[in-house]
């Protein structure tokens, strides 16, 4: 990320330098052709990324190796065999990253659950953090030895976290934070400052979450993104998108509500799609389009079989170009809703 982003500036530069580390920056975008030789030379002990980096590696490089052959695809569905295969893939991945990693930090957005499951089974030294620019930025996190699946871990030292007005059944509510790291206010904007800061110093993050019995934090999604269903149930589009993105040919997705119905926009992984239908000739464009329509129908069926009835998709639309994103590679939802 750019150094103007607080995640990169504080955790990626200032903190390592204060600890006596040296920091390496690439002069080009971190494509595999640039990144792999750089890691072989530097042999980093710590890396900080956004989820999309590891998600691309898993879905574009690792998972296809288990899906290309029918026998491997079947074996990969068997739990104990999948764990062994992931362990082997994890060792190769570790060497690809230079072979000296002690901490691979992931933050800025929610990590796909399938990818995290792979990282656990691969024994990869990952850790997930949670925070915001307004909180300088880290609020919660754990080291690789104490990572908890689908959780950011507990609040870090010196930080108070609480769930404001939690739902009596689910325990879900808005995450509030308090500590010396919380900003004093927005520059020359007292009205907006009053909206997010309480008189006693609590910052309203705008994120929804829950705690488990060990005080590990689980992020459900953004409060403003939450969709209220017809019967008043809370629907979190990020959770549905996580399921959609597990589908082999999907690169990224966005779930929104239109006329009271949930719809999904998906951007396909054209490289994988073309590999599957490589036998189709260039002049068979119409047949190729039919295949894509069949794929979207298959995707809808796949998602609806894996989510509860309130979160089922009514329609799937093709997003022909990649979604516009923030510096942390999160989709700019406001442009599409």
Tens digit of each residue's pLDDT (9 = 90 or more) over 87-106: 999 999 999 999 999 999 99
Q: Peptide bond before 137: cis, by omega within 30 degrees of 0?
A: yes
Q: How many residues does the chain have?
A: 337
Outline which parts of the chain fall under CATH 2.30.38.10: 154-221
**The CATH number of 154-221 is which of 3.40.50.2300, 3.90.1300.10, 2.30.38.10, 3.30.390.50?**
2.30.38.10
Specify the DSSP class assigned to residue 29.
Answer: -
What are 101-143's pLDDT values in tens digits? 999 999 988 899 999 999 999 999 999 999 999 999 999 999 9
Outline which parts of the chain fall under CATH 3.30.300.30: 227-335
**In terms of Cα–Cα distance, which of 205, 255, 250 is closest to 226?**
255
261-268 vs 315-318, strand pairing mode = parallel
Q: What's the pLDDT score for residue 209?
A: 96
Q: Up-side HSE of residue 205: CA atoms within 13 Å toward CB? A: 29
CA 209 to chain centre: 15
What are 43-77's pLDDT values in tens digits? 999 999 989 889 988 988 899 899 888 899 899 99
Strands (E), the chain: 46-49, 103-106, 126-131, 138-141, 160-164, 173-178, 203-211, 217-222, 227-228, 234-235, 250-258, 261-268, 315-318
Classified by CATH at the fold level, domain 227-335 comes out as GMP Synthetase; Chain A, domain 3 (3.30.300)
What are 219-268's pLDDT values in tens digits? 999 999 999 887 788 899 999 999 999 998 899 999 999 999 999 999 99
């Amino acid at each position: 990320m750019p150094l103007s982003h607080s995640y990169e500036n504080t955790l990626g530069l200032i903190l390592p330098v204060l600890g006596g580390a040296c920091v390496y920056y690439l002069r080009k975008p971190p494509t595999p052709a640039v990144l792999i030789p750089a890691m072989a030379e530097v042999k980093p002990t710590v890396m900080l990324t956004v989820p999309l980096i590891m998600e691309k590696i898993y879905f574009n490089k690792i998972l296809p190796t288990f899906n290309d052959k029918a026998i491997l695809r079947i074996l990969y569905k068997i739990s104990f065999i999948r764990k062994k295969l992931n362990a082997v893939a994890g060792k190769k991945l570790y060497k690809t990253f230079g072979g000296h990693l002690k901490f691979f930090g992931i933050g800025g957005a929610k990590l796909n659950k399938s990818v995290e499951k792979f990282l656990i089974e691969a024994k990869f030294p990952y850790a997930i953090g949670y925070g915001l620019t307004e909180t300088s930025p880290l609020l919660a996190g754990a080291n690789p030895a104490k990572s908890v699946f689908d959780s950011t871990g507990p609040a870090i030292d010196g930080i108070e976290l609480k769930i404001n007005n939690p739902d009596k059944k689910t325990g879900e509510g808005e995450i509030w934070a308090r500590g010396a790291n919380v900003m004093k206010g927005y520059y020359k904007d007292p009205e907006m400052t009053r909206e997010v800061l309480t008189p006693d110093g609590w910052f309203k993050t705008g994120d929804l979450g829950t705690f488990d019995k060990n005080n590990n934090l689980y992020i459900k999604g953004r409060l403003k993104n939450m969709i209220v269903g017809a019967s008043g149930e809370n629907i979190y589009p990020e959770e549905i998108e996580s399921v959609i993105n597990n589908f082999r040919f999907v690169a990224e997705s966005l779930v929104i509500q239109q006329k009271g119905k949930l719809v999904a926009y998906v951007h396909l992984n054209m490289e994988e799609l073309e590999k599957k239908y490589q036998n189709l000739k260039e002049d068979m464009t119409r047949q190729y389009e039919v295949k894509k329509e069949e794929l979207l129908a298959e995707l809808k069926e796949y998602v609806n079989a894996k989510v509860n009835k309130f979160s089922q998709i009514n329609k799937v639309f093709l997003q022909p170009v990649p979604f516009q994103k923030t510096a942390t590679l999160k989709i700019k939802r406001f442009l599409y809703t």
